[in-house]
Chain A
Amino acid sequence: AQSVSQHNHHVILSEAASLELGCNYSYGGTVNLFWYVQYPGQHLQLLLKYFSGDPLVKGIKGFEAEFIKSKFSFNLRKPSVQWSDTAEYFCAVMQKKSSGDKLTFGTGTRLAVRP
């Protein structure tokens, strides 16, 4: 069965620190990959997505993610975090299947940025 692993459940950083949140999945076929963000008290928002092409994807607010097929990974990065990046981040992987696509969310990583 497809699984999506976000290894870090809680991350605490100081402002200006660099961020990398891990996301690994177990499906070996074609995938579409997503990162969503949920700011405190707000709804989920799509941060960035990868369907095909350049494996380095740039999203909103300075975030980027790199799809490394050989490692089944889609890690989220930001060179310098801000206090306003405090949120919960969810990785999601869509298995592309002839029988129907299936989207699986990871369990989320809570990021707290200290001012």
Chain B
Amino acid sequence: NAGVTQTPKFQVLKTGQSMTLQCAQDMNHNSMYWYRQDPGMGLRLIYYSASEGTTDKGEVPNGYNVSRLNKREFSLRLESAAPSQTSVYFCASSLVTGMNQPQHFGDGTRLSIL
């Protein structure tokens, strides 16, 4: 069981570039989440998806879009990257439906915007 898989693990972008962070879970979980982790800030929820085809904004959604095309995958897109989006991004999933009960986390994507 792989759990929650995130790709890529590391990425460096220039300001204005776009990219998509991929996340997939093989636990048949309904809920999936994207968080960003910044020093001294804890984890902050960017977007949440309760099920395929549904998404909700979290605490810090500006500058991001998400897509939940199927139950397994939940992608996070930066349309025009900004230095303030330099962070470590974590995808998470949960069998429990609810915006704020992540149970399993991916290994993270370390993203640097120059």
Contact = CB atoms under 8 A, between A and B. Distances in A.
Given A42-B107, A43-B105, A43-B108, A105 B99 contact: no
Interface string A82-115: 0000000010101000001111111110000000
A100 B59 CA distance: 13
Interface string B71-114: 00000000000000000001010000011111111111000000
A91 to B, nearest CB: 9
A107 B100 contact: no
Contacts of B105: 43-45
Given A43-B90, A43-B107, A101 B42 contact: no
Contacts of A106: 42
B106 A103 contact: no
A83 B99 CA distance: 34
A88 to B, nearest CB: 10
A105 B44 contact: yes
B100 A4 contact: no
B42 A46 contact: no
Dominant SS among interface residues on chain A: strand
A19 to B, nearest CB: 20
Nearest to B107: A43
A106 B44 CA distance: 10
A7 to B, nearest CB: 14
Interface of A: 4, 32, 42-46, 90, 92, 94, 100-108
Given A4-B42, A44-B43, 15 more contacts: A43-B107, A44-B92, A44-B105, A45-B105, A46-B103, A46-B104, A90-B42, A92-B43, A94-B101, A101-B99, A101-B100, A102-B99, A106-B42, A107-B41, A108-B42
